[in-house]
Structure 1
Amino acid sequence: MITTKEVGFSGEQPIIAFTLMNRNGHSVELLNLGGKITAIRVPDQHGTIENVVLAFDDMEEYLEDPHHLGATIGRVGGRIANGAFALEGMNYILEQNEGEHHLHGGSVNWSNRFFDYEIDGELLHLLLTSPDGENGYPGQLDVRLTIDWTDEDVLILTYHATTTASTPFSPTNHTYFNLTGNAKTTIEQHRLRMDAPFYVPLNEESVPTGEILSVNETVFDFRKARSLYEVTHASDEALRQAGSGVDHPFLLKEGGEIVLEEPVSGRILRVETDQPGVVVYTGNHLAGDFTIAGRRATPYLGICLETQGLPDAINQPDFPSVVLRAGEVYEKRTTFQFSRVQ
Structure 2
Amino acid sequence: MKVTALNVSIKSWGLYNDQEIFLVKWENSDGSYVEFTNYGATIVSVVVPDAGGDLSQVVLGFNKFEAYLADTCYIGSTVGRFANRISRARFTLDDREVLLEANDNLNSNHGGFSGFNSKVFNIDITSDAVIFSLISEDEEGGYPGNLELKVKYTWTESYELSITYQAISDKKTIANFTNHSYFNLSGINNNITDHSLLVNAGKMLEMREDYLPSGKVIPCGAGRFDSDKLSDKLVMNDGRLTGVNNYYILDRRPGPGELQHACTLKEETTGRSLEVFTSYPGLMVYTGDYLSSNFPGNRNAALTEFGGICLECQHYPDSPNQPGFPQAILEPAELYEEVILFKFFYNN
Range into which the TM-score falls when normalised by the shorter chain: over 0.9
Please say which of residues 4-13 and 43-52 is displaced more in the overlay: 4-13
Alpha-carbon deviations, 1:5-47, whole Å to 9, x = none? 1122224222101111223321110100001111001000000
Aligned counterpart, 1:72: 78
Aligned counterpart, 1:230: 232
Aligned match for 2:173, one of 164, 167, 173 = 167
Please say which of residues 12-21 and 267-276 is displaced more in the overlay: 12-21
The structure-2 alpha-carbon separation of the partners of 1:298 and 1:32, relative to structure 1 and needing over 3 Å to count, comes to: same
The structure-2 alpha-carbon separation of the partners of 1:295 and 1:320, relative to structure 1 and needing over 3 Å to count, comes to: closer
Aligned counterpart, 1:133: 139
The reply on whether 1:329 has 2:335 as its aligned counterpart is yes
Aligned match for 1:248, one of 221, 246, 249 = 246
- Structure 2 distance, partners of 1:228, 1:321, is 31
Secondary structure of 1:63's aligned partner? helix
How far does residue 279 in structure 1 lie from its aligned partner after superposition?
Answer: 0.8
Amino acid at match of 2:249: L
Amino acid at match of 1:286: L
How far does residue 107 in structure 1 lie from its aligned partner after superposition?
Answer: 1.4
- Structure 1 distance, partners of 2:288, 2:301, is 15
- Structure 1 distance, partners of 2:300, 2:67, is 14
Aligned counterpart, 1:268: 273
Amino acid at match of 1:168: I
Aligned counterpart, 1:221: 224
Contact 2:12 2:21 in 1 (8 A): yes
Aligned counterpart, 1:339: 345
Alpha-carbon deviations, 1:97-147, whole Å to 9, x = none? 111100100113101000001111121111111110011000111111110
Alpha-carbon deviations, 1:57-89, whole Å to 9, x = none? 443110132101000000001000000101112
Amino acid at match of 1:322: A
Alpha-carbon deviations, 1:184-239, whole Å to 9, x = none? 210000000010111112212211111111113x2x111x200001112x35x7xx
Aligned counterpart, 2:3: none
Aligned counterpart, 1:20: 26
Secondary structure of 2:123's aligned partner? strand
- Structure 1 distance, partners of 2:299, 2:34, is 16
TM-score, L = length of structure 1: 0.94
Contact 1:128 1:143 in 2 (8 A): yes
- Structure 2 distance, partners of 1:173, 1:3, is 22
- Structure 2 distance, partners of 1:14, 1:90, is 38
For structure 1, which runs of at least 5 residues remain unmatched after alignment?
A: none
The reply on whether 1:208 has 2:213 as its aligned counterpart is yes
Amino acid at match of 2:340: T
Amino acid at match of 1:96: A
Amino acid at match of 1:249: Y
The structure-2 alpha-carbon separation of the partners of 1:339 and 1:78, relative to structure 1 and needing over 3 Å to count, comes to: same
Tell me which stretches of 4 or more aligned residues in structure 1 moved more than 6 Å: 240-243
For structure 2, which runs of at least 5 residues remain unmatched after alignment?
A: 1-6, 253-259
Contact 1:196 1:256 in 2 (8 A): no
How far does residue 296 in structure 1 lie from its aligned partner after superposition?
Answer: 4.8
Contact 2:204 2:219 in 1 (8 A): yes
- Structure 2 distance, partners of 1:74, 1:33, is 13
The structure-2 alpha-carbon separation of the partners of 1:242 and 1:163, relative to structure 1 and needing over 3 Å to count, comes to: farther
Alpha-carbon deviations, 1:283-330, whole Å to 9, x = none? 001124234237752200000001000110111112121111112111
Aligned counterpart, 2:257: none
Over the aligned positions, Cα root-mean-square deviation in angstroms equals 1.7
Percent pairwise identity:
33
Aligned match for 1:298, one of 293, 304, 309 = 304
How far does residue 56 in structure 1 lie from its aligned partner after superposition?
Answer: 2.3
Aligned counterpart, 2:150: 144
- Structure 2 distance, partners of 1:120, 1:130, is 23
Aligned counterpart, 2:255: none
Amino acid at match of 1:263: E
